[in-house]
Structure 1
Amino acid sequence: MNMSRAAGWAALVFFAFMAVGTLIVEQVEKTREHDRRQIVSQLAASSAYTLERQLSRSLSATYALASILHQYGEVRDFDELAREMIRTYGGISSLQLAPGGVIFNIYPLAGNEKAFGHDLLRDPQRRTEALKAIESRQLTLAGPVKLIQGGVGVIGRLPVFVRGGETGERFWGFATVLMRLEDLLVASNLAQLEQHGYAYDLARLNPDTTRWESFARSRRPLAAGPVNFVFDVPNGKWRLSMTPASGWRTSLVVALDYALLAIFSVAVTALIYILLRQPELLQVVVQKRTAELCESNRRLEDEIRQRTRAEKEVRRLNAELEQRVRERTSQLEVSNRELESFSYSVSHDLRAPLRHIEGYSRILLDDFGDRIGEEEKQYLERICRSSDRMKELIDNLLKLARFSRWDLQMKSVDLSSLARQVAEELQSEEPQRRVTFRIADKLTVFADAELIRIALENLLGNAWKYTGRTENAVIEFDAAESDGRRVFFVRDNGAGFEMKHADKLFGVFQRLHSATEFEGVGIGLATVQRIVQRHGGRIWAEGEMGKGATFYFTL
């Protein structure tokens, strides 16, 4: 289809979509306005109900005062009683008693001093309402009016009659409740609704003119067509009118709706135009894409050939690398076995000459001690002590080599029970020490029971040794979860260590404290590390000088 015909059809579609869309937007706006009216009606009814209920509660105080006066003829401790009533009924600014129409009792007096002594029956603005109240013997609600003491308020007056007079009753005066207008607006949530974007108008029906007179309104005026809610008050009616402050229709939303309609219409028009022109454009595109596809196929074939050659080379290199890894692994295994055998043989072969050195030194001390000097005796004793230490080192080396060749017998092991056994053995060896053991319950693991006991003996023994100079020593054995794995730990509050030396802890014959401070040969933690590694785990430590250490391990 040529360009002019395609443009004509596209314009026709555009105007059709705009016409239909306008009808839809108008219908949507009517629905939105109806929904807004429902919401505002509920809010107005709720606020009016709250206001009516608050008025009723506050005005009930006048009936309570009238009842007391009718029964006793007076109100004793008026201030105390009024304070309690204000607290009970709520919403009351002040309570007043006006015997004979003259206000003589006010609570609270502060802020209301100007009303004291005011004669309601002689006040031209209050006299008419006061006389009507006496005549009707009913509670009347005056206002909102400007108060003598300042401000605007609503006044509830109940004429009080007591026993006496020719008819058996006589007019005593008035029981009055004063409610400030701003307190009523707060109680009815109108001030809060104004903050949330609503406008309101509160009016009362003038009984003389039968016209509604507004006495409270929001800062922003009502929109057209407000929602009205009328409710009864003593001797009158009030009306609460409410609208959204921005009106029932939000111009921004309407503009956005029409903008979206215009965008959609333009998009559909453009789509129709493109579809009508598509056959002609498609032919050009097909020719171009065919040429591009041929070029892509050529490049792809070249890339496939290169990738095939590269894959063959990678497979060859992988096979060569795997062969080298197998050869190297075999060499390392042979070397490790030879090294372990050598260590075992050397350690074992050192025992015989060491026994000879120690034996002959003992003979010299025992048989010829009285023939040699003190200095020579000290030399011989040093030889004996060094021989003992050498034997201990050799024994530990043999144990360490034996752990590498140990055949693991895996089964379920109760670590809590093993730890308690080790703790009891440590305490029995030094019963004079006061050390608190905290061993968690139900710590079980699948491991070689004998090796795990040796590891716990070394870790708990290490904690026992390095808390030897700590008062109120505590040794703890527990477990925690870290990255989905169970981590066991032994913690103490002993000598501790500096973290910069942590990498030396697990070396053979490595010590961070001198032998004069704490005894030992420096092979216990190396043994623990070897056992943990045989179980496929790892061990590490954290500590601080003078504050203790914690050894963590996994299995």
Structure 2
Amino acid sequence: MAEPPQGLGNRERYVPDLAEVCRLLAERAPEPMLAVEGDTHIVRYANPAFRRLFGVQKEELIGRSFDDALPSGMSPEYADLIDHVFSPATHAKPEFRQPVVKVVGLPTTEWSCSMWAIVDADELAVGVMIQVTNLAEGQRLLREAAAMNEALLISSLEQHELREGLNSSNEKLQAEIVERQEAQEALRIASLALESRVAERTAELEAANKEVHTLTYSMAHDLGSPLRAIVATSRILQQEASGALSKEYAEMLERQVHNALRVARMVEDMLQFVRLATQPLEQKTVDLAEMAREVEAWVGPRYPDRTLNVIVVGRLVAKADAALIKIVLQSLMDNAAKFSPEGGKITVGRQEGGAFFVRDEGIGFELAYADRLFTPFQRLVNEANFPGTGIGLANVKRIIERHGGSVSAESSVGKGSTFYFSLP
């Protein structure tokens, strides 16, 4: 990473480039990825996995139109999707489309893709990211196995017919038995080969995920020191040179401090998100009712401008990792308080024999966007009105799924929200 420029006279301050972090992650990703300009469809980035899939060099893609750079059979369907994802009406809520198409001229011809808008710091769409998943290899193996099963079934039917004429067809029947045994052996070998391929792919995916987690943690950790230096230097300037700065420059300096602190919070949340993927589970019997009371004492002082009435209903006991489940309750109860600007009840309870829940009487949200809530750094509200980084509910989902459970949400605009989580 480049060193920050020397001196404090520049209007633009050095801020670590999180886009570079994302680029490095995409370079190492096992899934093919492509970035295009939203309005022109000009290709601006293609990771190594994407170039390998299509058998092209970087120079053959970058700077060319999406329609011209890729094989025929793809552009007509996907050009409209790119425009749809990039449009101002939709880019704030990413579109995930996975049609399967056949691309002329490729040995592996079936694949699917997901698209989402690339937005800048002002939440304006600047492009579209496309992620490709190769489906052909698994489908080929399934077709081979199906063909062998079909051959075995046909062989069995033929043997049944031969048994009816056993006295005159004994020799032919023996030949059919041998054929059946050969087909069974071939099917067994194919099944073993398929299992081996699946195991290899699983191991490769686990290794790639581990590498991504390690890289993300390392990069996020290394960003901490320069961010703290930016904030500290800016605070010193505000204290020592405030009288010498014009109103415009003073406002610029304050924005710099605000943005640096926001990035620092995102880095800390990113570190926690990565840690939660690898932290060992220490499961024991946990009293969630008692834990909810502890979290209530923590949440209340954070929102002194509103009256919150926390109600804990029933006996809430489960076998789980106490430290991680406390993070779940802190995130859900803090969200309930944050999005209840008029105050009100926050209820912690459990459905009869089922999932635990945290319910509030706050502003609510449109249920159509519920899935976005659990995606890292995705938010449905303006950061200025409701501060946050969008990682809390993603952490909740990761923790609960590591316990073997699931999360969901119910809400209606202006009528509050309920978040559910299950534990085995």
- TM-score, normalised by the number of residues in structure 1: 0.44
Map 1:59-138 → 2, pairs under 5 A: none
Letter in 1 for 2:321: D
Letter in 1 for 2:310: F
Map 1:450-529 → 2, pairs under 5 A: 450-469=323-342, 473-481=344-352, 486-529=354-397
Q: Give the CA deviation at 1:487.
A: 1.4
Give the 3 Å change call, closer, same or farther, for CA 291–359 of structure 1 in structure 2. closer
Per the alignment, residue 61 of structure 1 pairs with: none
Match of residue 539, structure 1, among 392, 407, 411: 407
SS in 2 for 1:501: helix
Unpaired runs of 5+ in structure 2? 1-162
Give the 3 Å change call, closer, same or farther, for CA 386–314 of structure 1 in structure 2. same
Give the 3 Å change call, closer, same or farther, for CA 298–513 of structure 1 in structure 2. farther
Q: Give the CA deviation at 1:478.
A: 1.7
Q: Give the CA deviation at 1:345.
A: 0.9
Per the alignment, residue 87 of structure 2 pairs with: none
Map 1:84-483 → 2, pairs under 5 A: 294=167, 304-430=177-303, 433-469=306-342, 473-481=344-352
For 1:345 and 1:532, locate their aligned partners in 2 and report how far apart those are by CA, in whole Å.
25
Q: Give the CA deviation at 1:480.
A: 2.2
For 1:501 and 1:321, locate their aligned partners in 2 and report how far apart those are by CA, in whole Å.
38
Q: Give the CA deviation at 1:429.
A: 3.8
Per the alignment, residue 25 of structure 1 pairs with: none
Q: Give the CA deviation at 1:307.
A: 3.1
For 1:291 and 1:395, locate their aligned partners in 2 and report how far apart those are by CA, in whole Å.
76
For 1:489 and 1:304, locate their aligned partners in 2 and report how far apart those are by CA, in whole Å.
61
Give the 3 Å change call, closer, same or farther, for CA 461–292 of structure 1 in structure 2. same
Q: Give the CA deviation at 1:434.
A: 2.8
Letter in 2 for 1:534: R
Give the 3 Å change call, closer, same or farther, for CA 311–467 of structure 1 in structure 2. same
Q: Deviation per CA, 1:372-408: give whole Å up to 9, x if none.
A: 2111111111111111111111111111111112111
For 2:269 and 2:251, locate their aligned partners in 1 and report how far apart those are by CA, in whole Å.
27
Q: Deviation per CA, 1:93-113: give whole Å up to 9, x if none.
A: xxxxxxxxxxxxxxxxxxxxx
Give the 3 Å change call, closer, same or farther, for CA 445–304 of structure 1 in structure 2. farther
Give the 3 Å change call, closer, same or farther, for CA 516–298 of structure 1 in structure 2. farther
SS in 1 for 2:382: coil
Q: Deviation per CA, 1:342-370: give whole Å up to 9, x if none.
A: 11111111112222322322232222222
SS in 2 for 1:536: coil
Structure with greater strand percent: 1
Unpaired runs of 5+ in structure 1? 1-289
Letter in 1 for 2:299: L
Q: Give the CA deviation at 1:469.
A: 2.9
Q: Deviation per CA, 1:182-230: give whole Å up to 9, x if none.
A: xxxxxxxxxxxxxxxxxxxxxxxxxxxxxxxxxxxxxxxxxxxxxxxxx
For 2:293 and 2:195, locate their aligned partners in 1 and report how far apart those are by CA, in whole Å.
48
For 1:327 and 1:550, locate their aligned partners in 2 and report how far apart those are by CA, in whole Å.
41
Q: Give the CA deviation at 1:501.
A: 0.8
Q: Give the CA deviation at 1:463.
A: 1.1
Q: Give the CA deviation at 1:300.
A: 6.4
Letter in 1 for 2:347: E
For 2:401 and 2:365, locate their aligned partners in 1 and report how far apart those are by CA, in whole Å.
23
Q: Give the CA deviation at 1:302.
A: 5.8
Q: Give the CA deviation at 1:514.
A: 1.0
For 2:175 and 2:340, locate their aligned partners in 1 and report how far apart those are by CA, in whole Å.
73
Letter in 2 for 1:507: T
For 2:180 and 2:339, locate their aligned partners in 1 and report how far apart those are by CA, in whole Å.
64
SS in 2 for 1:533: helix
For 1:435 and 1:296, locate their aligned partners in 2 and report how far apart those are by CA, in whole Å.
87
Give the 3 Å change call, closer, same or farther, for CA 346–304 of structure 1 in structure 2. same
Q: Give the CA deviation at 1:433.
A: 2.9
Contact 2:349 2:356 in 1 (8 A): yes
Q: Give the CA deviation at 1:450.
A: 0.3
Contact 2:314 2:350 in 1 (8 A): no
Tell me how many residue pairs correspond in the alignment: 261
For 1:538 and 1:298, locate their aligned partners in 2 and report how far apart those are by CA, in whole Å.
60
For 2:256 and 2:397, locate their aligned partners in 1 and report how far apart those are by CA, in whole Å.
32
Q: Give the CA deviation at 1:437.
A: 2.4
Contact 2:339 2:362 in 1 (8 A): yes
SS in 1 for 2:297: helix
Letter in 2 for 1:409: E
SS in 1 for 2:259: helix
Rg larger in structure = 1
Give the 3 Å change call, closer, same or farther, for CA 469–349 of structure 1 in structure 2. same
Give the 3 Å change call, closer, same or farther, for CA 302–353 of structure 1 in structure 2. same
Q: Give the CA deviation at 1:297.
A: 7.3
SS in 2 for 1:350: helix
- TM-score, normalised by the number of residues in structure 2: 0.57
For 1:456 and 1:447, locate their aligned partners in 2 and report how far apart those are by CA, in whole Å.
13
Letter in 1 for 2:388: G
SS in 1 for 2:311: strand
Q: Give the CA deviation at 1:540.
A: 1.3
SS in 2 for 1:467: coil
Q: Give the CA deviation at 1:295.
A: 7.2
Per the alignment, residue 24 of structure 1 pairs with: none
Give the 3 Å change call, closer, same or farther, for CA 544–296 of structure 1 in structure 2. farther
Letter in 2 for 1:318: S
For 1:296 and 1:520, locate their aligned partners in 2 and report how far apart those are by CA, in whole Å.
80
Identical-pair percentage: 40
Letter in 1 for 2:351: A
